[in-house]
Each structure stands twice: as C-alpha cells, then as structure tokens.
C-alpha cells in the first residue's frame, strides 16, 4: 500500500514524459489517468495509463493548454493529484492555482514559487537581492526611457532576452551595439508573439560559457537538498541536445560552491518540490541564469548517478511528506549522458521531419535507459516539439559513458522518419566533446558535426535499396539468361 492521500494521478502531458511518470506511479501503487488529444489516442502513454480522457482544442497544443478541460478531466478520473510533466502548463501559476482550488494536489511547487521564478526579471532581482551572483544587466522596466542607453553602456557583446521565455525564443546576441535597437525591436515582437509578454532585459553576454545546472529538492519542512549538477553545454539555438552528470572537469571546490548557491536560492525562495537552478560558467566564475520550477527533460542523468527517483520525490513532497533523503544520502556514482532523439534533420539546418514509425529498435543492456513515448505504427507529426525519445547511458567514467552512448546511438534503429541519431553519434565521438572542451557555442563553432559527411559512400544503401525495389530488380532480372551468363555484355 502506498499510504498517500490520493490514489489516482492525472498526467496533464503526453509522450515520453507521460510514460516516464506512469512508470513511477505504478511503482508507488498509484493509478494513472491521462488526458489526450485525438492525435495522441493511439500512443504508448495512453495505452499504458489506467484511464484516458479525451480533450480537444483548435490545435492539439491548445487542447493540452486548456485549463478548464484538464481540471474537468481530473474530476472525471477521480484524480486526487495532477502531474504537469514539463512544458505545456507545468510552469503556469494560474494552472497550479486552479488545480489546487479544485481540491486536487498539484505535483509541483506552489503557485507563488512559480510566479517568483517564472518571471526571469523578477527571479533575477530576487536572486541578486539575496546576494547570489547574477550577470550584469539592464532591465527595461527600471526605466524604459534610459533602457537602451543603459544596455549600450554595458558594452558588447550583449544578450537581449524576454522576461518570459523558453526554448531560446526571442533571445538575440548583439555584437555590435549599433544594431541594439533593431535587435530589441525584433526580440520584443517575438516575445509578444510567443509568450504574450513583450518585456525585455539585456544581459552582458558571456562568450562561450558552459551551462551548468543544479537539481534541487525542497519540502514543506524546510529541508532542501541538491542532487549535484548537470552540464547542458551542447546546445543549438539555445536548445539542449546532449546533457550529462556530473559536469566534466569541475574542481570539487567549484562544484561545492555552485551546488551550495543553488540550495541557497531554493531555500531563499522557500521552494517546495523538484526544481533546477541554472548557471552560466565562464572565466572560472558562475552566474545565476534562471530557475525552472518543474521536472526537467534531462532529469534522468541525475537519477542515473544518484539512484533517486525524482518523480517519486515530487509526489511525496506534494503529499506533504518530508524529503526521503538527507544531503549526506546523496552520493553520486559514475557518469551519465542523455541524448535527445528528435524528429529533425541537422544536416538540413535542423529542419523538422515527419513520418510514421515503421521499425523501432532501441539499444539495450546494462546502464542504458530509454525514455520514450514512441511505438511502432505511430505517426510523427509537426503538431508538437520534435523530441521523440531520450537515450540515457550510465558508466563508471565520462569517457566510457560517451563511448557506450555512441554505440547505443549507432545501434538505435528508427525507420520511417528522419531523426538526428547520426548527429548525436557524431557529437559523442567528437574529440572536443570527449576532451570536455565544450561550451554553449560548441555546435555553431563546429558546423561539420551537424553537416555530417556529404561525400559519405552510399553504395551499400543504394545496393540494398535497388535490390529491395521491385521495378529495379525486375528490370535486372528481365535481362536474358544469355546476357546474364555473359555478364550482360554483348560483344
């Protein structure tokens, strides 16, 4: 028996994260219910859940953002708790309030936590007021009339950022202060279009920093613990591609300082639930970037090195339980790398791809974990983001993990839709990556990794393709016996 105050949890999400949450619910003896748009009706997550409630909207994404429909679905499923996953409504304070007001436990932080950290300007000011390091910046709302002048005075390079953002939308690096005003206008328009909030701030851009983030857990009893750091420096257009834990080559002293800072920020915010404090590390110094008040896509690498089930911890904290661990219980072991398998073609500028899963074979073996919501026959559309699955690999050392992850990516077979599997394999075999010489601009600096080898020998593929294509084989077979015997040449 689970002895929790609820026995059914509604998952307000889809795909791989929904599947991953269901696995923990089963482990804890809880029932799972899931909402789904019709486009997802035949997906793995829906088939695995104990109950599935259809939701609708003008677009599939709109359905998953429809708060009244989701609350109604939770009631219909008699769900006592709701897990938002990541993305969609996971960092929406209004949603967290609506869930709580409906008498349902929100598996996540308080609406106040979300409001404080969800607004980047507010979060930044809060962190700075508490004496933690932030990147120098100019904030528009401090004084709109002097905003551009104050930003320009910081000197280039600059980074224009929206106050509310995600996935790198609306962010712009400005190397020439002469074009700052144009960049601000463009960023404002993008931020308004994507997030309905055009407020901006301008940060001093740290060239080629490393992205280091710390996983924290806080409960209602004042306990806050960190589960060490992750490195997410391999990015393209501000989106993470490969993540790992721990970060490579950090001194134990710097690691301790970063983790202590994250705990300090979470404690200052009176943070309850799982959260991630992100930092930029450059020139030996680290600065607060933002805090994510949800489960992160890359949480499995932390689970692999610590053995802690973060979703189970989220559930226990939401149920009013104290943390299931003390800081001294968190002992990292080995190294973990996660590769994000996406429906996209890095060789064609990361163009999104579509198709149907005709063959799906994941690599297996000790230390390999697959978080996936895919099943054979499933259509891959452009209705959602391109993330298909995560391949997470654990081994004693970073180099062994990278080699094992590289083999795993080469062994993975997904036919029917172009993916970035080969690109991920190329990163994992790249010398610079293997030596830990990585930073957030690494992929831009090494465009050949995305481009692949345009002169690759395709003869084996063409031979297989020709022999598997009826008209090609038939036209060859149609050649007379005599010609065949003569090697088809007439003399």
**Contact residues for other proteins (CB under 8 A)?**
345, 347-348, 356, 358-359, 361, 409-411, 413-416, 418-419, 421-422, 425, 456, 458-469, 471-480, 483-485, 487-490
Q: How far apart are the C-alpha atoms of 271 and 219, rounded to whole Å? A: 7
Taking the complex as a whole, the smallest distance from the CB of residue 490 to other proteins amounts, in Å, to: 5
CB of 394 to other proteins, least distance (A): 21
Q: Which two tokens stand for residue 248?
A: 């490579």
Smallest gap from Cβ 401 to other proteins, in A, equals: 18
Report which secondary-structure segment, H or E, holds 391. Answer: strand 387-395
The nearer residue to other proteins, 325 or 415, going by C-beta atoms, is 415
Residue with Cβ nearer other proteins (41 or 462): 462
Pairing relationship of beta strands 105-106 and 81-83 according to DSSP bridges: parallel
Structure-block tokens of residue 184: 């601000």
Residue 424 Cβ vs other proteins, minimum distance, rounded to whole Å: 11
User: Which is nearest to 52 in space by CA: 40, 60, 62, 63?
Assistant: 40
Considering the complex, state which of residue 19 and residue 421 has its C-beta at the smaller distance from other proteins: 421
Nearest residue (CB) to other proteins, 331 versus 359: 359
124 is catalytic: no
Yes or no: say if 267 and 216 are a contact pair by the CB < 8 Å rule. Answer: no
Q: Measured from the CB atom, is 179 or 466 closer to other proteins?
A: 466
Q: Name the 3-class secondary structure at 346.
A: helix
Q: Which of 20, 236, 294, 426 is catalytic?
A: 294
Virtual CA dihedral for 431, 437, 441, 445, nearest 10 degrees?
A: -40
Least separation in angstroms between residue 346's CB and other proteins is 12
d(CA 168, CA 65): 20
Element housing 225 (H / E):
strand 224-236
Q: State how far Cα 274 lies from the chain centre.
A: 15
Extract the tokens encoding 292.
Answer: 């994510």
Provide, rounded to whole angstroms, the least separation between the CB of residue 39 and other proteins.
20
DSSP annotation string for 48-60: HSSEEEE---SSH
Residue 117: Cβ within 10 Å count: 27
For other proteins, which is the closer residue by CB, 127 or 368? 368
Least Cα distance to 271 among 114, 88, 138 occurs for: 114
Q: Give SS3 for 270.
A: coil
Task: Give the integer Cα–Cα distance in Å for 401 and 336.
Answer: 6
Instruction: For residue 62, give the 3-state DSSP assignment.
Output: helix
Query: Rounded to the nearest 5 degrees, what angle is found at the Cα of 427, between the Cα atoms of 464 and 354?
Result: 55
Q: What's phi and psi for 177, nearest 5 deg? A: -60, -15
Nearer to other proteins, 185 or 479 (CB): 479
Q: Which is nearer to other proteins, 105 or 419 (CB)?
A: 419
Rounded least distance, CB 414 to other proteins, Å: 7
Buried b (16+ CB within 10 A) or exposed e, 234-272: bbbebbbbbbbbbbbebeeebbeebbebbbbbbebbebb
SS3 371: strand
d(CA 201, CA 192): 14
Nearest approach, Cβ of residue 342 and other proteins (Å): 14
Closest CB 377 distance from other proteins, rounded Å: 11
DSSP character string of 193-214: HHHS---EEEEEPPSS-EEEEE
- For residues 249 and 465, which CB has a smaller minimum distance to other proteins in the complex? 465
Which token pair is 137? Answer: 């910046």
Would you please indicate which residues are annotated as catalytic (active-site) residues?
294
């Amino acid at each position: 028996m689970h002895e929790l105050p609820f026995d059914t949890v509604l998952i307000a999400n889809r795909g791989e994260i929904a599947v991953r949450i269901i696995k923990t619910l089963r482990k804890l003896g809880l029932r799972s219910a899931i909402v789904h748009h019709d486009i997802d009706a035949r997906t793995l997550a829906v088939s695995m859940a104990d109950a599935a409630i259809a939701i609708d909207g003008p677009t599939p994404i709109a359905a998953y953002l429809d708060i009244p429909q989701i609350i109604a679905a939770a009631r219909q499923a008699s769900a006592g708790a709701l897990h938002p996953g990541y993305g969609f409504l996971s960092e929406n304070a209004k949603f967290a309030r609506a869930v709580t007001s409906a008498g349902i436990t929100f598996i996540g932080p308080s609406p106040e936590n979300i409001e404080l950290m969800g607004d980047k300007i507010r979060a930044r000011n809060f962190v700075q007021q508490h004496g933690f390091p932030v990147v120098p910046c100019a904030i528009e709302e401090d004084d709109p009339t002097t905003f551009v002048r104050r930003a320009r005075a910081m000197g280039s390079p600059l980074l224009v950022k929206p106050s509310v953002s995600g996935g790198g939308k609306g962010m712009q690096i400005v190397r020439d202060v002469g074009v700052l005003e144009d960049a601000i206008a463009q960023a404002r328009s993008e931020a308004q279009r994507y997030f309905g909030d055009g407020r901006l701030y301008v940060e001093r851009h740290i060239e080629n920093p490393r992205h280091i983030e710390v996983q924290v857990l806080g409960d209602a009893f004042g306990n806050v613990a960190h589960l060490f750091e992750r490195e997410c420096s391999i990015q393209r257009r501000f989106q993470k591609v490969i993540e790992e834990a721990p970060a490579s080559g950090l001194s134990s002293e710097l690691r301790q300082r970063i983790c202590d800072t994250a705990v300090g920020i979470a404690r200052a915010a009176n943070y309850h639930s799982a959260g991630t404090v992100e930092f930029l590390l450059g020139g030996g110094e680290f600065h607060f970037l933002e805090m994510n008040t949800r489960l992160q896509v890359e949480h499995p690498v932390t689970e692999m090195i610590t053995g802690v089930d973060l979703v189970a911890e989220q559930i226990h904290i939401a149920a009013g339980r104290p943390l299931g661990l003390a800081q001294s219980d968190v002992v990292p072991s080995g190294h973990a790398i996660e590769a994000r398998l996406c429906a996209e073609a890095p060789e064609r500028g990361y163009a999104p791809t579509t198709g149907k899963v005709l063959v799906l074979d994941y690599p297996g073996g000790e230390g390999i974990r697959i978080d996936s919501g895919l099943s054979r026959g499933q259509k891959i559309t452009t209705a959602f983001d391109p993330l298909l699955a995560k391949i997470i690999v654990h081994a004693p050392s970073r180099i062994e993990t990278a080699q094992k992850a590289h083999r795993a990516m080469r062994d993975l077979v997904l036919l029917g839709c172009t993916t970035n599997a080969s690109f991920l394999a190329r990163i994992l075999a790249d010398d610079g990556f293997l030596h830990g010489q990585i930073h957030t601009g690494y992929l831009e600096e090494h465009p050949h990794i995305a481009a692949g080898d345009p002169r690759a020998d395709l003869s084996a593929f063409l031979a297989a393709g020709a022999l598997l294509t009826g008209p090609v084989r038939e036209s060859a077979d149609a050649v007379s016996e005599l010609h065949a015997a003569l090697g088809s040449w007439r003399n």
